[in-house]
Structures are given as structure tokens and as C-alpha cells.
């Protein structure tokens, strides 16, 4: 679905707009995907409203304490949707939208998103993060044809989910900085207009942070607008760069760790918020690093040994090291000449890098914004330990090939 044609409506009459949209399109058959919580919050009401129109609604209520977008759940949803699923309806937030996005793509039919909480930025995305063999990976799928967000439902959603959505938005500070860094150092494609759109949505959320924390209609609408805009920016860029960087890599690492240990999941945006605090601290270190110190560190920097790196990846990600090693091929196959050119690029662009670092708020500011939202502020608050934080800071950058502040810090030997 082209984001230029996607319908987005967030208001008190969003469900009436959804019905009018389906009437206009002459849709009469639907597969509604939800879990027990989102069924009670909105799914049952949607089923009743659609049935009252004479439409057939197949409600797929996914059970269990925790719904994960893994092989089992995807297979179950595909099977229960049948041979003629009609239009899929995603009733929920991040995980349920991703499950529906994937299944509708596989069934070659469209889907409509009906959010129940402003908790994640993936509603408008064309990418589905799914878990295969314990490894979280992004799979190209499709964006929804429409998003109808009932404002009353969003305002009544659990406060931790609202805080998670706010945390996901704050992650754009470090994500955009990482994107700009990769552009000037690695020549990665960068689109200023898309970055500006993402920054505008981020600033609107920060400016309305008090209203968001109180779950006022204006604040929740601004937050939902920002989360949807984030997905649109990713779709326009053709990748996740406008919205996801080193802070998200930490979140992905912790998520896979919790899955492997069969421990309760933690909301994505909560982990992103904590990751943003940690990565903001690293940008602070770079901001204060003088050029002579950069020269000294680069003079003693050596190209990472490929075999040592592969062994580190295998130790950190025993469940699927091959896929992660393959994703790091650009760095693992780098020649001495290529590494020398990389160091020279860092040296020549250091002033630009410090300017990028200055665009990231100090970690205390991120901390305060999340604290005011009653969001968790440390790994200890989400059931993880100091070593889990250290391991994430050391290994999470392997999860993506993107050049970020984490990879820059490794070259400069600023942190382990």
C-alpha cells in the first residue's frame, strides 16, 4: 500500500469513518485479528458494528498470556483466516499489527489498522518485525490501506502503553543522529526532507508531553500523529533509518534475551526509551571529545580481526549467529585500505560529527521526559541486570549493518 494513498483518521468518530470507508469500497468480508485484551477494548465493538452492516466478520482472537509475532502465531493466524479472508482488520498495537501485516501480505489482500493504544511507531510501516528461531528480523510486507484510531479508546489505554509510545518517539533523537552520522562517514543515502518531517513530529510530542502524560485528547492525538508519521517516514525512506538507530538495537537485543530466557516481554517503546538514555550518554562523550584526542585514538586504531568478531557474535547470539554474521559482511570483509579511508573520513568530518552530537539532548533531559511519563528509566526496572546492559552496549550493534554511534565508539576505543 502506497503511503501517499493511505487513509489516516484519529478522532472520536473514527469507527464511523471506518464503516463509511468500507461501504465506499464495498467490502463485505473481514478477518479481525486481536488478542483477549484488545478484543475487550475494541474488537468486540468493531465486530458488532460491522455485523450490524450485514458484513461477515471472522474474529481471530489470539490467546495466551503473551502474543508474539513468531512462527507459531503467524502460522495459526494464517490457518484461521481461511482461504477467503477478505480484508484483514488489525485490532491492537504493535505486535498484532505486525502479525496482521504479515498475514495479509501472505494472503495477498489488504488490511486496515484499528489501534487500541498509542504505544509503537509501526502502524503505518510496510515492514513487519517478526521472530524466527529466536532472532528478530524485519520482513518487507505492506502498509495498511487505512488507519482509523478511535481517540476515546486511545485515551483509555493503559498508561504504561502511552509511556511506551512516548519513549518510542524520543528514540528519534538518537536515530536521526545515527542516520546523519552514517551519511557523512559511510555515504549512506540521507533525505533531509524526511528527517525534517520526523523531527517536526518528535518536537510536537515533546511540546505536548504534559498533555500526553495526562492522556488528554490533544496530547494523545499528537502522540498518535507522531507515531503514524514515523511509519510514513520509514516507508518514504525505504528503510527504518528515520526512526530507528542504536537505541533500537539495544531494545532488540533485550527483547531476544527475554525470549531466549522465556521471561515476560517488555513493551518495545519502554526498552527504546531506556536505550535512548544510554545512547544519549554516548553522544555526550563524543560532543566533548577534542580533535587532538580523536587523532590520537585513530592513530592507534586497528582494523577488527574478522575471526575474532565472528567468535564474539557467536558467543553473544548463539541462537542464530549465521544470519547476524552475514549482516556484518561490510565490516568483516573490510580491507586495511578501506579501514584507513574510514579513519580519514572520521578525522576530516569530526566537526560535523560534533555538530550532530549537539543535536541530541543530554541524557538528563531524556531521563526527565521519561520520568515525567512514569516510564521505566533503567534496565533494573524491567527485570534485567547490569551485565545485560553491558552486553547490549557491547554486542547489540551487530544486529544491524547500519553505521551508528556504537560502531564509531568502537573504532575510537571509547567503550567496550
Q: In this predicted model, what pLDDT tens digit does every residue of 89-147 receive, in sequence order?
A: 999 998 999 999 999 999 999 999 999 999 999 899 888 888 887 777 888 899 999 99
Contact in structure between 213 and 373 (CB atoms under 8 Å): yes
What confidence score (pLDDT) does residue 362 get? 97
360 has a pLDDT exceeding 60: yes
Query: Which range has the worst mean pLDDT, 48-52, 208-212, 264-268, 340-344?
Result: 264-268
Q: SS3 of 294, please?
A: helix
The closest of 63, 56, 64 to 82, measured between CA atoms, is 56
What confidence score (pLDDT) does residue 3 get? 57
26 has a pLDDT exceeding 70: yes
The span from the CA of 25 to the CA of 92, in Å, is: 23
At 232-290, the pLDDT tens digits run: 998 889 889 999 999 999 999 999 899 888 888 899 999 999 999 999 999 999 998 99
Q: What is the mean pLDDT of the chain?
A: 94
Residues 6+ positions from 315 with CB-CB distance below 8 Å:
none
E strands, 122-161, where?
127-132, 135-140, 146-150
1 has a pLDDT exceeding 50: no
Predicted confidence band at 363 (pLDDT cuts at 50, 70, 90)? very high
Radius of gyration of the chain (CA): 22
What confidence score (pLDDT) does residue 139 get? 86
Contact in structure between 287 and 358 (CB atoms under 8 Å): yes
Extents of the domains making up the chain: 7-157, 162-411
Query: Which range has the worst mean pLDDT, 10-14, 129-133, 233-237, 307-311?
Result: 129-133
The span from the CA of 65 to the CA of 63, in Å, is: 7
* Alpha-helix residue ranges (DSSP H) falling in 10-131: 14-25, 36-38, 44-51, 71-81, 94-106
Q: Work out the percent of the chain whose per-residue pLDDT is above 70.
A: 99
Highest mean pLDDT among 69-73, 87-91, 395-399: 87-91
What confidence score (pLDDT) does residue 4 get? 59
pTM of the model: 0.93
Give the CATH fold of the 162-411 domain. Answer: Dehydroquinate synthase-like, alpha domain (1.20.1090)
208 has a pLDDT exceeding 80: yes
The span from the CA of 77 to the CA of 45, in Å, is: 21
The span from the CA of 182 to the CA of 407, in Å, is: 10
Compute the average pLDDT of residues 210-232: 96
416 has a pLDDT exceeding 80: no
Compute the average pLDDT of residues 11-22: 97
At 316-338, the pLDDT tens digits run: 888 778 888 998 988 899 999 99
List C-alpha distances in Å: 264 to 157, 161, 166, 258, 413.
20, 15, 21, 7, 35
At 29-72, the pLDDT tens digits run: 999 999 999 999 999 999 999 999 999 999 999 987 789 899 99
The span from the CA of 415 to the CA of 250, in Å, is: 15
Greatest pairwise CA separation for the chain in angstroms: 73
Query: Which range has the worst mean pLDDT, 219-223, 252-256, 347-351, 373-377?
Result: 252-256
Domain 7-157 coded CATH 3.40.190.10:
no
Amino acid at each position: 500500500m502506497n503511503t501517499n494513498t493511505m487513509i489516516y483518521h484519529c478522532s472520536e468518530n473514527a469507527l464511523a469513518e471506518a464503516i463509511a470507508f468500507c461501504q465506499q469500497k464495498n467490502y463485505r468480508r473481514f478477518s479481525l485479528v486481536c488478542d483477549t485484551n484488545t478484543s475487550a477494548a475494541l474488537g468486540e465493538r468493531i465486530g458488532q458494528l460491522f455485523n450490524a452492516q450485514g458484513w461477515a466478520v471472522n474474529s481471530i482472537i489470539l490467546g495466551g498470556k503473551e502474543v508474539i509475532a513468531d512462527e507459531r502465531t503467524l502460522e495459526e493466524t494464517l490457518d484461521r483466516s481461511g482461504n477467503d479472508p477478505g480484508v484483514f482488520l488489525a485490532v491492537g498495537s504493535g505486535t498484532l499489527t505486525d502479525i496482521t501485516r504479515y498475514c495479509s501480505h501472505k494472503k495477498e489482500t489488504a488490511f486496515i489498522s484499528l489501534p487500541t493504544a498509542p504505544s509503537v511507531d509501526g502502524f503505518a510501516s510496510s515492514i513487519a518485525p517478526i521472530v524466527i528461531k529466536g532472532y528478530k528480523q524485519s520482513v518487507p510486507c505492506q502498509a495498511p490501506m487505512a488507519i482509523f484510531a478511535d481517540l476515546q479508546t486511545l485515551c483509555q489505554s493503559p498508561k504504561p502503553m502511552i509511556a511506551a509510545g512516548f519513549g518510542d518517539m524520543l528514540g528519534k533523537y538518537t536515530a536521526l543522529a545515527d542516520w546523519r552520522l552514517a551519511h557523512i562517514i559511510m555515504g549512506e543515502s540521507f533525505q533531509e526532507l524526511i528527517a525534517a518531517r520526523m523531527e517536526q513530529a518528535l518536537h510536537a510530542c515533546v511540546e505536548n508531553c504534559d498533555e500526553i502524560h495526562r492522556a488528554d485528547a490533544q496530547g494523545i492525538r499528537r502522540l498518535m500523529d507522531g507515531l503514524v508519521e514515523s511509519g510514513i517516514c520509514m516507508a518514504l525512506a525505504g528503510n527504518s533509518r528515520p526512526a530507528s538507530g542504536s537505541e533500537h538495537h539495544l531494545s532488540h537485543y533485550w527483547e531476544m534475551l527475554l525470549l531466549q530466557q522465556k521471561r515476560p516481554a517488555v513493551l518495545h517503546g519502554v526498552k527504546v526509551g531506556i536505550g535512548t538514555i544510554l545512547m544519549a550518554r554516548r553522544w555526550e562523550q563524543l560532543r566533548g571529545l577534542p580533535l587532538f584526542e580523536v587523532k590520537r585514538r585513530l592513530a592507534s586504531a586497528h582494523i577488527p580481526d574478522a575471526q575474532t568478531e565472528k567468535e564474539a557474535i557467536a558467543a553473544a547470539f548463539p541462537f542464530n549467529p549465521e544470519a547476524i554474521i552475514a549482516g556484518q559482511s561490510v565490516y568483516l570483509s573490510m580491507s586495511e585500505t578501506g579501514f584507513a579511508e574510514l579513519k580519514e573520513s572520521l578525522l576530516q568530518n569530526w566537526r560535523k560529527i560534533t555538530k550532530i552530537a549537539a543535536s541530541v539532548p543530554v541524557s538528563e533531559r531524556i531521563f526527565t521526559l521519561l520520568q515525567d511519563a512514569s516510564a521505566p528509566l533503567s534496565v533494573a526496572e524491567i527485570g534485567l541486570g547490569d551485565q545485560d546492559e553491558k552486553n547490549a552496549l557491547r554486542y547489540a550493534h551487530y544486529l544491524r549493518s547500519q553505521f551508528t554511534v556504537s560502531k564509531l565508539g568502537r573504532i575510537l576505543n571509547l567503550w567496550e
